[in-house]
Amino acid sequence: MHPSYSVIIFTTASGAGYGLLVWLALFRMFGVIPAERWLGFLGLGTALGLITLGLLASTAHLGHPERAWRAFSQWRSSWLSREGIAAMATYVPAGLLGLGWVIFETGGFFLGLVALLAIIGSGITVWCTGMIYASLPTIRQWYQPLVPPVYLAMAMATGGLLYNALAHMFGHGSALSAGAALLAVIAALVIKGLYWRVIDSAPKKYTAEAATGLGHLGKVRPLDPPHTQPNFIMREMGFKVARKHAVKLRGLAIIFAFLIPLFALVLALFAGAPAVSGVAGIVALLSGAVGVIVERWLFFAEAEHVAMLYYGAEAA
């Protein structure tokens, strides 16, 4: 599948934003971090800013962005619609949390409740993002139960890296912030690693013979294409990344998204000096940002669409 930049930015930025929102709400709920105005402002501002940036980016690939509001109507059947609604709904508790935190600098039962709602809303939204892909039987690499967990894990990992870096800025960096990010990164590595293993061994169920129904005659090969230049289907679904490039890029994704953040966070945990932990946290964040973009690019580039069977793919 063609990796479009708007969708890569959308899923990575909003994912990190929701992840950060979850960590902030969680730690605020349990009083781990104080209801400090500027921490709340910058933290929630970053989270909601990334989420909003992502959502705006997602409308950039629409043919009619001005009609985007219509996408809230089909929640009964469409995961894309559900995602839009969940995203809008999550702004409410997130905004209330921000209000209480930034304006009134308070905690208490009510804010605990909205924090909890913000966490639930974020989780549902990211899950829906994953389901948009996981509900398409046309794409073997996406039609996998592990896809929503991958999206959730990547969101929590990138959000965790963001949270840790932010906490350090405000002098709240601790073993807890680095440890939480570390755990999230390890979880994401495990889940993503599993996902890669699953898609590498997932059988190609459909063949050109089945797609044309001509298998009883023997092998089916394209002889004459229906058009001289690539059409929408070939450009959208026919994008292919060479196997050896994919292997290299997976390596880069593993190094940048997981391994460098992992080592940096371990360093941060045992460094003792807050300055070292702070710098390590920033290194982990920057590396994670590069890594998640490579990871997301590959998620699209490695995906193979059944429709390409009509255009010369032998199996999908």
Closest distance of CB 143 from other proteins, Å: 11
Query: Per-residue x/- mask for other proteins, residues 192 to 211, rule CB under 8 A?
Result: -------------xx-x-xx
Instruction: Find out whether 164 and 287 touch, Cβ atoms under 8 Å.
Output: no
243 binds other proteins (CB under 8 A): no
Give residues 28-67 in contact with other proteins (rule: CB under 8 A).
Answer: 61-65, 67
Bridge partners (DSSP) of residue 139 are 305
Binding residue (CB under 8 A) for other proteins from 218, 242, 272, 275: 218
Closest distance of CB 289 from other proteins, Å: 26
Closest distance of CB 246 from other proteins, Å: 20
301 binds other proteins (CB under 8 A): no
Binding residue (CB under 8 A) for other proteins from 32, 49, 138, 266: 138
Query: Residue type for 106, please?
Result: T
Q: How far apart are the C-alpha atoms of 51 and 275, rounded to whole Å?
A: 29
Instruction: Find out whether 206 and 309 touch, Cβ atoms under 8 Å.
Output: yes
Residue with tokens 């294409």: 225
Give residues 71-90 in contact with other proteins (rule: CB under 8 A).
Answer: 71-74, 76-81, 84
Q: Where are the beta strands (DSSP E) in 127-166?
A: none
220 binds other proteins (CB under 8 A): yes
Binding residue (CB under 8 A) for other proteins from 201, 229, 243, 275: 229
305 binds other proteins (CB under 8 A): yes
1 binds other proteins (CB under 8 A): yes
Q: How far apart are the C-alpha atoms of 220 and 222, rounded to whole Å?
A: 7
106 binds other proteins (CB under 8 A): no
Closest distance of CB 86 from other proteins, Å: 12
Q: In 10 A of CB 299, how many CB atoms?
A: 25
Rounded to 5°, the CA angle 29-285-247 comes to 125
Pseudo-torsion of CA 7, 11, 14, 15, nearest 10°? -170
Pseudo-torsion of CA 71, 97, 188, 301, nearest 10°? 30
Piece of the chain touching other proteins by CB under 8 A; list 33-41, 159-167, 220-228, 264-272: 220-228
Q: Closer CB to other proteins, residue 182 or residue 308?
A: 308
Q: Closer CB to other proteins, residue 77 or residue 201?
A: 77
How many residues make up the chain in this entry? 316
User: For 105, left (φ over 0), alpha (ψ -120 to 50), or beta?
Assistant: left
Binding residue (CB under 8 A) for other proteins from 42, 99, 169, 233: 233
139 binds other proteins (CB under 8 A): yes
**What 3-state class would DSSP assign to 32?**
coil
Closest distance of CB 41 from other proteins, Å: 33
242 binds other proteins (CB under 8 A): no
End-to-end CA, the chain? 12
Q: The tokens of 232 are what?
A: 């929408």
Bridge partners (DSSP) of residue 99 are none
Q: Closer CB to other proteins, residue 45 or residue 222?
A: 222
Residues near other proteins, by CB under 8 A = 1, 61-65, 67-68, 70-74, 76-81, 84, 132, 135-139, 205-206, 208, 210-214, 216-233, 236-237, 305-308, 310-311
